Structure 1
């Protein structure tokens, strides 16, 4: 039985989406300060591994990092509604770069819009 991960093109598709996302994050005045590392590469790898696993690919993320605990991992950062909006803008760019069907795109976008709202932990 194929997974959503398989259906969208697997690793290469997720890699493209996440790479485009981080191109935007690299110059974003709201989001970039939330990434303390000089090199965004490790964050990009973690996010890519998470999405690969979430959509049905290899469980590399859990093998390396354990349970995602997304809210806990993001708790040290002030994730505002504005930050969520910026995050979604860059994710939209990534999704637009991928060759997804309208149904696949809608499913992916639905997940990330809910996830972005879930991560908000500061209203100002």
Structure 2
């Protein structure tokens, strides 16, 4: 049974608070990109990003801050974003989508987040990841 007074992931900024606010989110995104860079199985994702990687890191931190219920800082700095359209130039199939989700799961685990938060976030991330894949396949064809 859940505590009715404890906010649940996805409600308000409960997810952002569970991740550790801006500090925890920054730690997570930095771990995510480091794992992506240093793990051969994930390296193809890292190589899709423009270099230096700093802007991609900043964009993901700011986007996720708003996505997790915090202030929508991405739009203030970079403007409105539609994730599928923003990624349409990339070729994303099941392999890349699953690599991204698995890399994020690994980063969440490395940062010491509980299994319940990892499961919630990977499930939640799978929705936009699926839309990105759909738009990519419509743009570039399957596989």
Same-fold call, TM cutoff 0.5? yes
1:33 match = 47
Q: How does 1:19-98 map to 2 (within 5 A)?
A: 19-27=30-38, 28-35=42-49, 37-98=50-111
1:103 match = 116
Indicate the structure (1 or 2) with the bigger Cα radius of gyration: 2
How far residue 58 of structure 1 moved from its aligned partner, in angstroms, is: 2.2
Q: TM-score, normalised to structure 1's length?
A: 0.85
How far residue 14 of structure 1 moved from its aligned partner, in angstroms, is: 1.1
**Relative to structure 2, which stretch is displaced further, 101-110 or 9-18?**
101-110
- 1:47-68: CA deviation from partner (whole Å, max 9, x where unpaired): 1110011111222101112222
Q: Does 1:116 align with 2:137?
A: no
Using CA pairs under 8 Å that are at least 6 residues apart, name the structure with larger relative contact order, 1 or 2: 1
Alpha-carbon RMSD across the aligned residues, in angstroms, is: 2.0
1:11 match = 22
- 1:23-76: CA deviation from partner (whole Å, max 9, x where unpaired): 1222444213311x2211110110111001111122210111222211111011
Q: TM-score, normalised to structure 2's length?
A: 0.75
* Structure 1 residues not aligned, in runs of 5+: none
How many angstroms apart in 2 are the aligned matches of 1:89 and 1:8?
Answer: 17
